[in-house]
């Protein structure tokens, strides 16, 4: 594909595997200069070499201030930030009554503040160049809550509103902000469930589980100049799983 984004700079959070890695690979294939982010440095280093990322940052996004420092370091190292993809690991399961204050605080930091902090640090840099592409990875749970993913259901729906709100403030600066809502995507988290082909077919009209590159292809397009008129949108990549309009 040729989306005319070569040489842009991209910080892709949560990207040593799974959906984040799929997005990083799609951007690298388009000639974007990509930095990876995750906690495990050994793995990051191996993946960066394997897929051709320019740099990686070993950072725990569940720590207060980590996302702010991450963006600052990226801008120092790359000179600009054209593309920001926010993503982290998924939260623990739990019914509402089981969730402790500690869990709420952890998930708030991980799923919510890492987005707020990275946006706050990246948007002024994007504004300077009148170009920015931001993608928030949320979940189909933002629209159709998933049983026992209580904190995710709450925070992800909130991120849809946040992205919409912020997108209207920055649209006139050449900056687009969209969220992507993955359905069932073939990553470690999902593989651990050991779902049969039959079960997937019963849940997903497309009849297959999604692959990280299904998300990556759309992300690469949305990060390109070709997608300059698409902002404030939440787009499901779920093989038709969601039933709501």
Binding site for ligand NAP (CB under 6 A): 14-20, 37-40, 43, 59-62, 87-90, 110, 137, 139-140, 182, 184-185, 187-190
Nearer to ligand NAP, 79 or 240 (CB): 240
Name the minimum Å distance from CB 132 to ligand NAP.
22
| Cα–Cα distance measured from residue 16 to residue 28, given in angstroms and rounded to the nearest whole number | 14
Name the minimum Å distance from CB 78 to ligand NAP.
19
Point out the residue whose Cβ comes nearest to ligand NAP. 18
Name the minimum Å distance from CB 164 to ligand NAP.
19
Nearer to ligand NAP, 87 or 150 (CB): 87
Find, among 59, 160, 73, the residue nearest to 109 by Cα: 59
Name the minimum Å distance from CB 140 to ligand NAP.
6
CB under 8 Å to 139, separation ≥6 — which residues?
Answer: 90, 146, 149, 152, 156, 181, 182
Nearer to ligand NAP, 19 or 126 (CB): 19
In the block, tokens 């990322």 appear at 53
Find, among 77, 51, 79, 22, the residue nearest to 210 by Cα: 22
Query: Which residues on adjacent β-strands are paired with residue 235?
Result: 180
Nearer to ligand NAP, 64 or 225 (CB): 64
When computed from its CA atoms, the radius of gyration of the chain, rounded to whole angstroms, is 17
Name the minimum Å distance from CB 194 to ligand NAP.
14
Nearer to ligand NAP, 9 or 110 (CB): 110
Name the minimum Å distance from CB 99 to ligand NAP.
16
| Cα–Cα distance measured from residue 170 to residue 161, given in angstroms and rounded to the nearest whole number | 15
Nearer to ligand NAP, 176 or 179 (CB): 179
Q: CA torsion angle for 218, 221, 227, 233 (degrees, to 10)? A: 20
Find, among 74, 17, 18, 78, the residue nearest to 48 by Cα: 17
For residue 194 the two structure tokens come to: 């050991």
């Amino acid at each position: 594909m040729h989306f005319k984004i070569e040489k842009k700079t991209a910080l892709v959070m949560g990207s040593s595997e799974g959906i984040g890695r799929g997005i990083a690979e799609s951007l690298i294939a388009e000639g974007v200069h990509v930095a990876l982010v995750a906690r495990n440095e050994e793995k990051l280093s191996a993946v960066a070499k394997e897929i051709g990322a320019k740099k990686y940052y070993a950072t725990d996004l569940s720590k207060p201030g980590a996302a702010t420092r991450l963006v600052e370091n990226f801008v120092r190292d790359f000179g600009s930030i054209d593309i920001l993809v926010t993503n982290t690991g998924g939260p623990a399961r739990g019914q509402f009554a089981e969730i402790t204050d500690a869990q709420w605080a952890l998930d708030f930091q991980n799923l919510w503040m890492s987005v707020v902090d990275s946006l706050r640090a990246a948007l002024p840099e994007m504004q300077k160049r009148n170009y920015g592409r931001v993608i928030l990875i949320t979940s189909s749970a933002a629209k159709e809550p998933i049983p026992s993913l209580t904190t995710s259901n709450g925070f992800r729906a909130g991120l849809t509103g946040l992205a919409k709100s912020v997108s209207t403030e920055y649209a006139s600066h050449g900056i687009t902000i969209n969220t992507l809502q993955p359905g069932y995507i073939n990553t470690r988290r999902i593989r651990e469930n050991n779902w049969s082909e039959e079960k997937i077919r019963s849940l997903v009209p497309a009849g297959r589980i999604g692959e990280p590159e299904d998300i990556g292809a759309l992300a690469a397009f949305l990060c390109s100049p070709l997608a300059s008129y698409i902002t404030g949108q939440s787009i499901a990549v779920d093989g038709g799983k969601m039933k709501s309009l």
